[in-house]
Copies of this chain bind each other. A is one copy, B any other.
């Protein structure tokens, strides 16, 4: 497998990350995970825009123009023989690079840009969730960014696994529903679609945004609002979204079965059409 690092493609085994990289030492970086369909990264613009916004908020510098990054992704997908793969994943990582010891921003930033790809099987058909103890913090700058700081989510997913579930249901510090360990959550209230409002405790997902735009056009009313955990008890369906999985229905929450909502499949089908259209434009 090959990786792209700061302008060059090389075998992963020959790629060296500097031990002084702040991405490693301080979680001081951002990333995006994109779905690649038949060689084409899906929602490339949206992912890059989110990365650039995160860079602005955190004072990081992306040293390459969008066109250069797009070409790098294409080159790497080709180098790894994934042009014709039905599904693959691509990860674009930006770190603040190396710097002197301590938290202060380095006077002369030398950012690290790393791109990798991986084969991807089909997404899971269903996922079970368990509510975990780690909660999302609306006052955390990194909570609303796709930052390298994923340890809480790693711990959350492992706690869920220990509880016999496949992913974590994370609340925010106010006790409201936030997200899964690496996915947004949607809740069916009859035929109305609810999702936690973006008040800083969730990552504003690319798929989440696409669905909120798509749903009204096919007759589904959506609302972004605070969702109490109790509300899940009377939900007529729940599903997760992220770029790699798309829409995945939730089968159980804390051991209790969640109804399968027929509209989830309809929305998923409409989302697939949207992905095809996006790929055709590319």
Contact = CB atoms under 8 A, between A and B. Distances in A.
B148 A142 contact: no
A103 B181 contact: yes
Contacts of A23: 24
B19 A19 contact: no
Say what secondary structure dominates the interface of chain A.
mixed
A77 interface: no
Contact of A139 (B5, B135, B154, B182): B135
A76 interface: no
- How many copies make up the complex? 2
B134 A140 contact: yes
A229 interface: no
B149 A25 contact: no
Nearest to A100: B118
Interface stretch (A9-17, A256-264, A274-282): A9-17
A155 interface: yes
A47 interface: no
Given A3-B19, A5-B19, A181-B103, A26 B139 contact: no
Contact of A104 (B12, B19, B95, B157): B157
